[in-house]
Each structure stands twice: as C-alpha cells, then as structure tokens.
C-alpha cells in the first residue's frame, strides 16, 4: 500500500515540475512575438514613407507607366536606409502583375520581413490604378 502511494507522489511531482517549466517557456515565447512585430512596424513605416515621397509628385506612377524598373529600383535604393533590402511587385486593378522584371536590391537574409501595400493612381490622361506591394527586410 505504502509503495503504491510513493508512486502516485512521484507522478504528481513530475507533472507539477513539467507544468512549471512549460508555462515559463510559453510566456517567454509570447513576449518574443510582441517584440518582433514592433520592429516590422518601424520597417513598414520607412517603406511607406519612401513610396509616399515618390508618389507626391506622380513620379511613382510615371516609373510604372514608362516601365522604368531600373529607375524605380535606384530611387528606392536612395530613399531607403542603406541597411534595408527590398522587393517590389506592382499589380494593376485586376491584380495582374505589371512588372515582369524583378525590382529588388538583393536577396533577403532576414527572418523579419515587413510588408507594405500602397495604392497609387496615374496622373496621365488615362486614369489607371496600381497596387504596389513592397517587401522589406534589414540586411543582417
């Protein structure tokens, strides 16, 4: 009878200690995710501001209509911080990809990638809307 009780106590001990350790890990993991999202928000804000500045005089839509992908890449290279790499994709109003060439300044080596969606309108005679998807990451 005594030996049977001892076994029960060991099982309860093991269960409790396991619970404590796992709960500590669970809390830590949740807090880590919060920290990452803040960094991505900052990066997205930087990317959005660069697109807004390019669009402020209609340059962004002009790059797209002229299919001047190299010009757009170089402009983003200048406006974004040196340590940020990007990949840009442009869609028309039917979500068909407009740029057939890659608009990027290098491969992404970071796990933290920020995403910006920006809608810009052409300032030409024919009204067109473009949806710009910008992916950003910090070079590590």
Partner 1 sequence: MPAISIDTFFACSLMVLLVVSAMAASSMLLSPYINGVGNENIAKRYGEIAKYLLLNVGKPQDWGQKSQTIPEVFGLAKARSDIPYELDIDKVSRLNGKNQYALSYATIFSALKMSDVSFRIELNPIFEVAINLTGTHPSVNETIYQFQILTEKHGIPVQAELKGYIIARNYFEAKNVSISDGEVSLNVTLPNEVEGPALLVIIARSVCNAKIVSFGTFAFAHNSGEPEETCNFLKLSPLNYALNVSYLYPEISLLDAYALTFNYYSSLTQTANSSQSVEYGIPYFVDSSPILMAVTGLNSTSFFIEWVAYPQIPLKIGADFTESMSLSDVFAYRYIVTVNSALYECMIWLGGS
- Binding part of the chain for partner 1, among 31-39, 85-93, 111-119, 131-139 by CB under 8 A, reads 31-39
> What is the three-class DSSP state of 117?
strand
Our finding on whether 53 is near partner 1 (CB under 8 A) is yes
Scanning the chain, the segments in alpha helix (DSSP H) are 2-55, 59-65, 69-79
- Binding part of the chain for partner 1, among 1-9, 96-104, 109-117, 127-135 by CB under 8 A, reads 1-9
Q: What x-and-dash track marks residues 75-114 binding partner 1 by CB under 8 A?
A: x-xxx-xx--------------------------------
How far is it, in rounded angstroms, from Cα 54 to Cα 64? 12
Which of 14/93 has CB closer to partner 1? 14
Our finding on whether 13 is near partner 1 (CB under 8 A) is yes
Which of 93/106 has CB closer to partner 1? 106
Long-range interactions of 60-69: CB distance < 8 A, separation 24+: 60/120, 60/132, 61/120, 61/121, 61/122, 61/123, 61/124, 61/128, 61/130, 62/123, 64/90, 64/98, 64/99, 64/120, 64/122, 64/130, 65/122, 65/124, 65/128, 67/99, 69/99, 69/101, 69/103
From the list 11, 52, 119, 129, which residue makes contact with partner 1 (rule: CB under 8 A)? 52
Residues that bind partner 1 (CB under 8 A): 2, 6, 9-10, 13, 16-17, 20-21, 24, 27-28, 31-32, 34-35, 38, 42, 45-46, 49-50, 52-54, 56-57, 59, 70-72, 74-75, 77-79, 81-82
């Amino acid at each position: 009878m005594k030996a049977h009780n001892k076994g029960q106590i060991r099982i309860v001990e093991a269960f409790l200690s396991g619970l404590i350790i796992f709960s500590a890990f669970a809390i830590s993991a949740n807090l880590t995710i919060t920290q990452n999202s803040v960094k991505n928000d900052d990066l997205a804000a930087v990317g959005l501001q660069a697109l807004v500045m390019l669009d402020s005089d209609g340059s962004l839509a002009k790059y797209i209509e002229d299919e001047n992908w190299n010009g757009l890449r170089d402009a983003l290279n200048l406006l974004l911080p040196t340590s940020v790499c990007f990949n840009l994709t442009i869609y028309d109003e039917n979500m068909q990809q407009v740029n057939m060439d890659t608009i990027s300044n290098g491969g992404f080596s970071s796990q933290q990638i920020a995403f910006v969606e920006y809608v810009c309108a052409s300032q030409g005679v024919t009204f067109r809307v473009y949806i710009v998807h910008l992916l950003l990451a910090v070079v590590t």
